[in-house]
């Protein structure tokens, strides 16, 4: 059974014990400059106001053998662009 939880972006990537693997079928996604600017402005507004901002769904699959986590994006692939 899957377990769901809410995490901040910092909390998601703030771990030296994990390695994130972005599958090939996610890497081809890209934004133009306009979309990147809008997303970064949204991040700044959220951080300044302290409100919760929904970035979409993330599915993290932990693979014990190689101690890594696959990052699979949901509706919005904005976090993938930020990470790359």
What is the tens place of the pLDDT at every residue in 38-70?
Answer: 877 877 887 787 666 666 666 666 666 555 555
Q: Is the pLDDT of residue 28 over 80?
A: no
Tell me how many domains the chain contains.
1
Domain that holds residue 57: 17-83
* Any domain includes 72: yes
Gap between the Cα atoms of 58 and 5, Å rounded? 10
* Any domain includes 46: yes
* Any domain includes 4: no
Cβ pair 59, 74 in contact under 8 A:
yes
The answer to pTM > 0.75 is no
* Any domain includes 77: yes
């Amino acid at each position: 059974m899957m377990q769901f939880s809410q995490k901040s972006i910092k909390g998601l990537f703030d771990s030296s014990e994990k390695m994130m693997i972005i599958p090939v079928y996610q890497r081809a996604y890209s934004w133009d400059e306009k979309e990147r600017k809008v997303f970064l402005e949204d991040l700044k507004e959220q951080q300044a106001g302290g409100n919760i901002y929904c970035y979409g769904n993330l599915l993290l699959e932990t693979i014990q053998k190689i101690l890594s986590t696959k990052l699979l994006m949901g509706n919005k692939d904005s976090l993938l662009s930020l990470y790359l």
